[in-house]
Amino acid sequence: MKKILFFILPAMVLVSSCVDSLDDYNIDPKRPQSGAVPGVTLVSSAERSLARTLVSSNVNLNVFRLYTQYWAETTYFDESIYQIKERRINEGFWTAIYRDVLRDLQEARVIISANNDPLFDPAIKANQLASIEVLEVYSWATLVDLFGDVPYTDALDVNKAQPKYDKANDIYNDLIVRLDKAILALNASASGLGNADLYYNGDVGKTIKFANSLKLRLAMTIADVDPAKSQKMVSEVQGKLISSSSDNAALTFLGDNPNTNPLFEDLVQSGRNDFVGTSFFIDKLNMLNDPRVGEYFKPAASGDYEGGEYGTSNSYDDFSAPGTKIEDPTLPSVLISYSQVEFMLAEAAARGYSSVSGTAKSHYDAAVRASIIYWGGTSADATAYLAQPEVDYNNAASGATYKEKIGIQKWISLYNQPVDSFREYRRLDYPQLTKPAQALSNIPRRFPYPAVEQNLNGANYNAAAAAIGGDNVDTKIFWDKF
């Protein structure tokens, strides 16, 4: 992880988060004329947009700290009872990924591919294009994990204003092929994006670890629907993964505008007091004597850590608000962490994947330890935490199945990675969440498609909705088998 000064260029100026037609993600209004902007600066723009989208607490964009019941709301609680379409929350996320991430990455590829300067080292060019491919795979997988079938092969094509939807499973299969090619193309002995890479400052070796860790994540995501393929993919990434928190794929923000963490903007700079922790989450942390509770939250007025009721309004002054570390303007947005990798290896070992060295317990312990230390705890804190019967992987008190044991601890560790947490909650089915009394629907298993799709891409929207069994929040993504 590196602190990098962002490029302040016209190509990075953000435009309205609302779209009025399909052209808004097929024809990018911020697209530069060919050659006007170096391609790598568009990669910087895409990385910045992706990192901000994933960590944001803006309720018009990223509501997943609410859906996974880390946070409750104070005055307004529409999002906590799953008011999605009327608020156009699904449209905000859809637009952020299609327009502000994928569109910039596509244009970056076009510019870099067209650069035939004889002084442009072919190895560097290959690394830049492969790095873009890794970021695209991550972004497309994020869309699929939230929506299911989405426009893919026809998307971002200026000649196809009404793109057809591809099957989510087909997209995943193609993404895996693309990722494998990108991994093979990356060459750690050559330079790549340089300081335009806001995640690794151009360290291609770490980009390779990120790519393989992403492959591991895709493998474990499909484990319930294609165990043979999952196991093969896991075997192919052994020894090539993120191996410490210093390898985390992350963007570390700066202390001054406009390059602060959006959490700081939402929680501090805005002057608003919109969120407190839920009793469901904080009670769990308290029960487990979790050393991260003081980093995740501030004490309530009582001096204790107390959570509010999810799905209704709460008094900000009476409950524990998000912690001071969460309000830090420089707090990184993490795409994949070492702790996540260890949790995935723990699950792979628990499933009997023979290529994984070590036991489910050893990887589980490493995952929990890495998370505690990342959040400011000590190794001694982690040891004491793991020794508790309710945490000890080998003790029945920590869960009846590996999905419960890993699912609950992974949920705790993914507190500031809410998009990942929402995927893992649906995939592992732990923790067992309960919808609030005033909920307008069941807890969502997916985002419905944006209204703009119904209005301007009606035929393809209707076909997609029928193909997935209905465009509603109860329809499961293909990998959500149980």
Residue 252: what residue type?
Answer: T
| Maximum average pLDDT range among 9-23, 76-90, 133-147 | 133-147
d(CA 130, CA 109): 9
pLDDT in tens, 323-373: 999 999 999 999 999 999 999 999 999 999 999 999 999 999 999 999 999
Question: Locate tokens 């409750």: which residue?
Answer: 72
* Helix count and strand count (H, E) for the chain: 19, 6
pLDDT surpassing 90 at residue 16: no
d(CA 450, CA 446): 12
Q: Where are the domains of the chain?
A: 23-62+84-221+445-477, 274-318, 337-433
Could you tell me the pTM of the whole model? 0.93
* Topology (CATH) of 23-62+84-221+445-477: 1.25.40
Give DSSP secondary structure letters for 26-43: HS-TTPPPTTSS-HHHHH
pLDDT in tens, 318-337: 999 999 999 999 999 999 99
Listed in sequence order, the residues at least 6 apart from 65 whose beta carbon sits closer than 8 Å to its beta carbon are 57, 71, 275, 415, 418, 421
Task: Return the CATH number of the domain spanning residue range 337-433.
Answer: 1.20.120.840
pLDDT surpassing 90 at residue 18: no
pLDDT in tens, 424-472: 999 999 999 999 999 999 999 999 999 999 999 999 999 999 999 999 9
Q: What is the token pair recorded at 69?
A: 């019941």
Listed in sequence order, the residues at least 6 apart from 284 whose beta carbon sits closer than 8 Å to its beta carbon are 290, 408, 412, 431
408 and 393 Cβ atoms separated by less than 8 Å: no
Strand 71-73 with 150-151, pairing? unpaired
d(CA 130, CA 207): 10
pLDDT, residue 11, reads 34
Round the average pLDDT of the chain to a whole number and report it.
Answer: 93
Span of 11-15, 26-30, 300-304 with lowest mean pLDDT: 11-15
Judge if 23-62+84-221+445-477 and 337-433 fold alike in CATH terms: no
pLDDT, residue 86, reads 84
Is 389 buried (19+), middle (13-18) or exposed (0-12) by CB count in 10 A?
Answer: exposed
Distance of CA 450 to the CA centre of its chain: 20
Cis omega before residue 431 (within 30°)? yes
pLDDT surpassing 90 at residue 155: yes
Residue 54 DSSP class: H
Beta strands in 254-388 (DSSP E): 275-277, 333-336
Confidence grade of residue 76 (pLDDT, cut at 50, 70, 90):
very high
